[in-house]
Structure 1
Amino acid sequence: MLSNLKPQAADKILMLIEEFKADTRQGKIDLGVGVYKDPQGVTPVMRAVKAAEQRIWESQTSKAYTGLAGEPEYRSAMAEMVLGDVPADRLASVATVGGTGAIRQALELARMANPGLTVHVADPTWPNHLSIMKFMGLPFVEYRYFDAASRGVDFDGMKQDIARAGKGDIVLLHGCCHNPTGANLTQEQWQEVIAILAKSGAVPLIDLAYQGFGDGLEADAVATRLVAGSLPEVLIAASCSKNFGIYRERTGILMALAENGAARDLSQGAMAFLNRQTYSFPPDHGARIVSTILTDAALRADWATELEEVRGTMLGLRDQLAAELRELSGSDRFDFIQRHRGMFSRLGATPEQVAKLRSDAAIYLVGDSRLNIAGLNRDTVPVLARAIIDAGI
């Protein structure tokens, strides 16, 4: 039986990680993998996370199962962080295996509710969005998003394309810090997107993986809150991997805002059922870390301070890289790096130029020229800037 399996295409980012590891050159720079690194090149454990884990270790008396939907305290704390004033009469939620698990469960839920749906997804988007949908056999179409000339949002194209979504279709949106481009909608543009969705009856699925990495914890939630407060049905997949730095704990949540209490109850039951069919009970350790931090004033304040330090570091690196490139190129054509937000920017380089960075300068980017800003430090920024110019980007 097993010999009948077909070889699967390797994940391009995972392949890049292995290629980077095999490179023996001194001074090689990894700007491909999407994790935050401090100036020493380490993905640190945040202070509040360490303190919360210590508290959990000292107080926890059982490792028994939690509920199918996860611990209520975690779900409540996350809903408050993401949505602010939580519409409890409309909200259903379940803990998931990371943000990826939340995306998968959201798509499964949507398909249960509307087997004939089509998913409308940004071009480009996080590659795993497409991979998951292809594996599930979900029909999807791409809408225009990134303007290669300006390295900003092709908003006119986006509006035209998402207006084609039908009632009950899913429109997958990035809540902030768009991956892979770093180019985000303005608040005014979000209002126009909401109006289009309200007219069509399409349901937004918001992927919120980087809250706190862009313009701040509250500012990064504004778009999601606007959508949630304006439309009758909204799905939100949120991750704690980045903003709490607990990548390996696989901590996420799926939230569904329904039109009324009856639909909320149906959604809650269906989401718990999906958890049971997929992995039964969701993992608890990361979720308990998060709820411990968010429900304790001192821990929450320390976490928010450190998160702001992380955000400030990335903004500083953006400013430095844009300034270096401005000086070397004698132009402002790279100033989009300063305007982008989050971990990533798309340089707009060709695959050949990306390959040249790798072969000539041992600088590793994803093939579409997505650059992980958090993989840089003050010493490597000038190296990257010079390599970008030498590669003819």
Structure 2
Amino acid sequence: MLTNLKPQPADKILALMGLYKEDPRDTKIDLGVGVYKDASGHTPIMRAVKAAEKKLWEVEDSKSYTGLAGDPAYGTAMRDLVLADSVSADRVAAVATPGGTGAIRQAFELARMANPDVRVWVSNPTWPNHVSILNFMGLPVLEYAYFDAVNCVVDFDAMIASLQGVKAGDLVLLHGCCHNPTGANLTLEQFGQVADLLLEKGATALVDIAYQGFGDGLDDDAAATRLLASKLPEMLVAASCSKNFGIYRERAGVLMAISEKAETTPLAQGSMNYLNRQNFSFPPDHGPRLVTMILTDPALKADWMAELEEVRLGMLGLREQLAKELRERTNSDRFDFIARHRGMFSRIGASPEEVLEMREKFGIYMVGDSRMNIAGLNSVTVPILAQAIATTCK
């Protein structure tokens, strides 16, 4: 049987990581993998996470299962963090999942369960794994216009025009903040217009929010998701704690389903529990429990928010420094968009050939579509990157 298997295409980012490791140059810069790194290139454990782990070690007295949906307190804490008071709590069902990716997969499964003929719309471009999962599941994928690759901004008119093709029962995937891979976000007003269009078409929004707190702050980054939740009768939200809590390997995600009426919430909850059972039975608990402890303990939450703000401001500082260095080297404002983008990523508009040239000549490792991880930089490497871009990108 196993001899019948066919080789699968390698993940481009993981392959890039391998090339980076093999490069002997001391000046090489890794801007590929989507993991936060501090100025020394290390992905640290946040102070509040360390404190919560110590406390958990002292008080935890069992490793038994929690439940198909995970600890209900985790769902409540994440609902409050992401949705706040934008929607009545009795309309929200929630399940813990293995990371944000698990939440996305379960969202697609839930949509297919509710509508076997569901079509899923994704932005062009989007996180590659969105499309990979949908293709693997055999679900129809449609793209809506999103990014102006020449000016590196959102092409909102083209986006609205392409979403005119949305039909009732379709699922439209939106990035809640810090769009991956472009770093270019809709304004709150534009999100409102998208909500109005989806309401008119009878489509359902799925919001992928994986970087809350990395862009403009915890509440500002959740504002679009909350606006959509307040305007739409139904919505799905896939949230990740990997980035803003720095617990990548703990796989802490959550899927929330907002029903039109509270009476429907138990049906959504039961269906989500069932899907968890079919796919992995019980979700991980260690990471979600740490998140719950942090969000429900005032002192831990305050320290977590303070450190998260340090991370956010650090990335903004790198963006501003890079934009300034490029302005000086190119004698133009061509790359000023980098300072306006938000989150870990920006797509800088370089061609695949230019990306390859930067890798070969300067040891700059970024994804072929020119997506770069801002968090892979520090104040010393920013000028090196700026020189490589200015020299290569004509």
Interval containing the TM-score (normalised by the shorter chain): over 0.9
2:103 counterpart of 1:75: no
Q: AA paired with 1:10?
A: A
1:170-319 matches, cutoff 5 A: 170-319=171-320
Q: AA paired with 2:77?
A: A
Say if 1:163 and 1:197, in contact at 8 Å, map to a contact too.
no
1:335-350 matches, cutoff 5 A: 335-350=336-351
Deviation at 1:389, TM superposition (A): 1.1
Say if 1:167 and 1:201, in contact at 8 Å, map to a contact too.
yes
Q: AA paired with 1:5?
A: L
Deviation at 1:262, TM superposition (A): 2.9
C-alpha distance in structure 1 between counterparts of 2:320 and 2:390, whole Å: 17
C-alpha distance in structure 1 between counterparts of 2:375 and 2:320, whole Å: 13
C-alpha distance in structure 1 between counterparts of 2:243 and 2:207, whole Å: 16
- Percent identity, aligned pairs only? 65
C-alpha distance in structure 2 between counterparts of 1:369 and 1:167, whole Å: 35
Q: AA paired with 1:247?
A: Y
Secondary structure (helix, strand or coil) at the match of 1:163 reads: helix
C-alpha distance in structure 2 between counterparts of 1:163 and 1:248, whole Å: 39
1:57 aligns with 57
Secondary structure (helix, strand or coil) at the match of 1:141 reads: strand
2:155 counterpart of 1:148: no
Deviation at 1:150, TM superposition (A): 1.5
1:351 aligns with 352
Q: AA paired with 1:358?
A: R
Please give the root-mean-square deviation of Cα atoms over the aligned residues, in Å. 0.7
1:36 aligns with 36
Deviation at 1:89, TM superposition (A): 1.9
2:134 counterpart of 1:109: no
C-alpha distance in structure 2 between counterparts of 1:108 and 1:271, whole Å: 9
Deviation at 1:82, TM superposition (A): 0.2
What are the ranges of 5 or more consecutive residues in structure 2 without an aligned counterpart?
Answer: none
Say if 1:70 and 1:282, in contact at 8 Å, map to a contact too.
yes
Structure 1 residues 82-104: Cα deviation after superposition (integer angstroms, max 9, x where no partner):
01115222111100000000000
Structure 1 residues 28-49: Cα deviation after superposition (integer angstroms, max 9, x where no partner):
1000000010001100000000
Structure 1 residues 92-140: Cα deviation after superposition (integer angstroms, max 9, x where no partner):
1100000000000000000000000110100000000000000000001
2:21 aligns with 21
Aligned length: 393
1:369-384 matches, cutoff 5 A: 369-384=370-385
1:3 aligns with 3
Secondary structure (helix, strand or coil) at the match of 1:253 reads: strand
Deviation at 1:281, TM superposition (A): 0.3
C-alpha distance in structure 1 between counterparts of 2:75 and 2:265, whole Å: 15
Runs of 4 or more above 4 Å deviation: none
1:129 aligns with 130
C-alpha distance in structure 1 between counterparts of 2:216 and 2:245, whole Å: 16
2:62 counterpart of 1:45: no
What are the ranges of 5 or more consecutive residues in structure 1 without an aligned counterpart?
Answer: none
Q: AA paired with 1:261?
A: A
Worse-superposed segment, 134-143 or 260-269: 260-269
Deviation at 1:181, TM superposition (A): 0.2
C-alpha distance in structure 2 between counterparts of 1:389 and 1:186, whole Å: 29
Secondary structure (helix, strand or coil) at the match of 1:206 reads: strand
Secondary structure (helix, strand or coil) at the match of 2:207 reads: strand
C-alpha distance in structure 2 between counterparts of 1:161 and 1:265, whole Å: 35
C-alpha distance in structure 2 between counterparts of 1:103 and 1:278, whole Å: 13
Structure 1 residues 60-87: Cα deviation after superposition (integer angstroms, max 9, x where no partner):
0000011100101111000000011152
Deviation at 1:163, TM superposition (A): 2.1
Worse-superposed segment, 256-265 or 340-349: 256-265
Structure 1 residues 217-245: Cα deviation after superposition (integer angstroms, max 9, x where no partner):
01000000000011001000000000000
C-alpha distance in structure 2 between counterparts of 1:164 and 1:262, whole Å: 31
